[in-house]
Amino acid sequence: MSNQTKTIGTKIRHSLQADCQSCFGLCCTALNIVASSDFAINKPAGTPCPNLQDNYSCHIHSQLRETGFKGCTVFDCLGAGQQVSQVTFHGQDWRQSREHADKMFRVFPIMEQLYEMIAYVAEALSYQVDNMLYEQLIAQLKHLQQTIAQDADSLLALDMVAIRMPINALLLQTSEQIRQHSVKGKASRNLNQRGANWMGKNLKGKDLRATDLRGSYLIAANLQDANLQGVDFIGADLRDTNLRGADLSTSLFLTQMQINAAQGDRSTKLPSYIKRPAHWQ
């Protein structure tokens, strides 16, 4: 794989940023939200949040955490919102008609999933993987890029499981190849901790390099000062995980939402495509 391809993967991964100015407040309207410590009220899918203003900005944007809407500071659509608003629906907002709105709100969660898959595949392409895997990742990336450009009816008819399955297999292969490089020689611990329940566990300062933590539960776990290089975090639950001083600079498949939900500080090392959350001290 050439450096040029690695650069393309890195470039695409970095470009996946939400642009709320170009979106019709879809995350504040389309999604079903149940009241919890993250969101102060119940909000059914397709109903605008009462804090959403006519210009699609949030009335309490600067006080979300203090007013019980912490979840809104965690959410990241990776750009799916502006794609649906400006490309799929050609800049026509959901106030046009009920039918138009219903369709837009059903397309948004599908687009979100497609964008998440693009982010993972682009990240995989930013690594040094073997040629066969590289070709398969490129084919999937092209397919996803064509898919997000489809019209609303075609998007609604997609079989998301059929799209996700081959991508998941490629991401697993990528993880295997990259994590093998992250540990020199044979590791003296079990690197397969897929789905582990480490909620509240104290792992302060531990060497967890190259561990597979796919789908693991790390809620409120203490990973302060842990070495998390080459750790696969895909689908891991990092709510309130203590990442202060931890090194995640080469962790795999982290998302902005996972990091936004965790606790960290200036000493936490993050991958280049992840922004340091504003609420971290």
Q: Which residues bind ligand SF4 (CB under 6 A)?
A: 28, 49, 51-52, 58, 60, 69, 72
Enter the tokens of residue 14: 């970095």
> CB 100 → ligand SF4: shortest distance, Å?
20
Which residue, 8 or 60, is less far from ligand SF4 as judged by CB?
Answer: 60
Q: CB within 8 A of 199, min separation 6: which ones?
A: 217, 218, 219, 220, 221
State the nearest-atom distance from the C-beta of 30 to ligand SF4, in Å.
10
Q: 53 near 29, Cβ under 8 Å?
A: no
Please, which residues bridge with residue 197 across strands?
217
Between residues 29 and 83, which has the closer beta carbon with respect to ligand SF4? 29
Return d(Cα 279, Cα 109) in angstroms, integer: 26
CA–CA separation, 12 vs 120, rounded Å? 10
Q: Cβ closer to ligand SF4: 7 or 57?
A: 57
C-beta of 1 vs 60, nearer to ligand SF4: 60
Least gap, CB of 52 to ligand SF4 (angstroms): 4
What is the nearest approach in angstroms of ligand SF4 to the Cβ of residue 111?
Answer: 18
Q: Exposure string (b/e) for 230-245, b if CB count within 10 Å is 16 or more? A: bbbbbebbbbebbbbb
Rounded to the nearest whole angstrom, what is the least distance from the CB of residue 49 to ligand SF4 in the complex? 3
Find the largest Cα–Cα distance for the chain: 62
Length of the chain (residues) = 281
User: Residue 40 or residue 141: which is nearer to ligand SF4 going by CB?
Assistant: 40
174 HSE (CA, 13 A, CB side): 28
